[in-house]
Amino acid sequence: KNQVEQSPQSLIILEGKNCTLQCNYTVSPFSNLRWYKQDTGRGPVSLTIMTFSENTKSNGRYTATLDADTKQSSLHITASQLSDSASYICVVSDRGSTLGRLYFGRGTQLTVWP
Amino acid sequence: EADIYQTPRYLVIGTGKKITLECSQTMGHDKMYWYQQDPGMELHLIHYSYGVNSTEKGDLSSESTVSRIRTEHFPLTLESARPSHTSQYLCASGGIAGREYQETQYFGPGTRLLVL
């Protein structure tokens, strides 16, 4: 069964600190992996997208890594800000159809305290 | 900021009422999607469309229906709302035919539905 598991479920850090969120998946065949940021009451916004040939991609203070062999990805946030408080969702796409079916994790709820 | 809009943002309605959730995008995307998301849970695909006059059911069984008469418009209708329909509904668009590897889905702000 294709699944996407994220950890931790929730995380509290102090402003200015770094953190790393984890994503493990069993989706096969693999097409790409995306990280989304979802603010409370809003729709998800794409942060990064990586194909199987990419093992790291950055977007400002966000750096995503991908290990397609172990089927693991991480999202590292550097020098956290209060505005980083949100749910971070890992999404994996397969190549099973032209739709590129998406499998969503439940997200990691990050809270940044001042 | 993505040009995809949903109305209403919040809706409280009684059981048995017919409702339509609106979704529009101005990016010219062929593909549009409806997702359902409960608090703290993952998004579930309930409907999608490849283009005008194309609609398909997603992974999650839903009593809703959709239509795609215009590229930019993808409304979702519940003929008879029930308390079990209480959830957040997210519309998304994205996709360039033949370039699915690079597809990014742009999400609307969502509609929070409460059925009493």
The pLDDT tens digits of the residues spanning B8-23 come to 999 999 999 999 999 9
pLDDT at B103: 67
Q: Which residues of chain A lie closer than 8 angstroms to B41, CB-CB? A: 106
A89: three-class secondary structure by DSSP: strand
Look at phi and psi of residue A29 and say left if phi exceeds 0, alpha if psi is from -120 to 50, else beta.
beta
A31-43, pLDDT tens digit by residue? 889 999 999 888 9
Given its phi and psi angles, is residue A107 left (phi above 0), alpha (psi -120 to 50 degrees) or beta?
Answer: left
pLDDT at A97: 52
A37: closest chain B residue by CA: B107
pLDDT surpassing 90 at residue B74: yes
Residue B12: HSE in the Cβ half-sphere, 13 Å Cα cutoff: 1
CB of A49 within 8 Å of a chain B CB? The answer is yes
**CA quadruple B23, A50, A37, B55: dihedral, nearest 10:** 20
Whether B83 has a pLDDT exceeding 80, the answer reads yes
Q: pLDDT tens, A64-109?
A: 999 999 999 999 999 999 999 999 999 998 865 555 678 899 999 9
Question: Cβ A100–B106 below 8 Å, yes or no?
Answer: no
Q: Is B79 helix (H, G, I), strand (E, B) or coil?
A: coil
List the strands of the sheet with B65-66, edge to edge: B4-7, B19-25, B76-78, B65-66
- Name A1's Cβ contacts closer than 8 Å, sequence gap at least 6: A26
A-chain CB neighbours of B40 within 8 Å are 106-107, 109
Closest CA to B111 of B28, B43, B23: B23
Q: Which residues of chain B have a CB within 8 Å of the CB of A89?
A: 42-43
What does residue B100 show for φ and ψ, rounded to 5 degrees?
-60, -25
Tens digits of residue pLDDT in B85-99: 999 999 999 865 555
> B3: burial class by Cβ within 10 Å (0-12, 13-18, 19+)?
middle
pLDDT at position B58 is 86
What confidence score (pLDDT) does residue A28 get? 85
Average pLDDT over residues A41-64: 91
- CA–CA separation, B81 vs A2, rounded Å? 31
Q: Which backbone phi and psi does B108 adopt, to 5 degrees?
A: -80, 175
Identify the bridge partners of residue B11 per DSSP, sorted by sequence position.
B113
Q: Which amino acid is at B27?
A: M
pLDDT of residue A19: 97
Q: Which two tokens stand for residue B21?
A: 């959730």
The mean pLDDT value of chain B amounts to 89
Is the Cβ pair A43, B109 closer than 8 Å? yes
Residue B4, pLDDT > 80, answer yes
Q: Which residues of A touch B92 (CB under 8 A)?
A: 43
Asked if B74 and B91 touch (Cβ cutoff 8 Å), the reply is yes
**Can you tell me the distance from the alpha carbon of A106 to that of B43, in angstroms, rounded to the nearest whole number?**
8
Judge whether A37 is closer than 8 Å to chain B, CB to CB: no
Of the pLDDT bands very low, low, confident and very high (cuts 50, 70, 90), residue A56 is very high
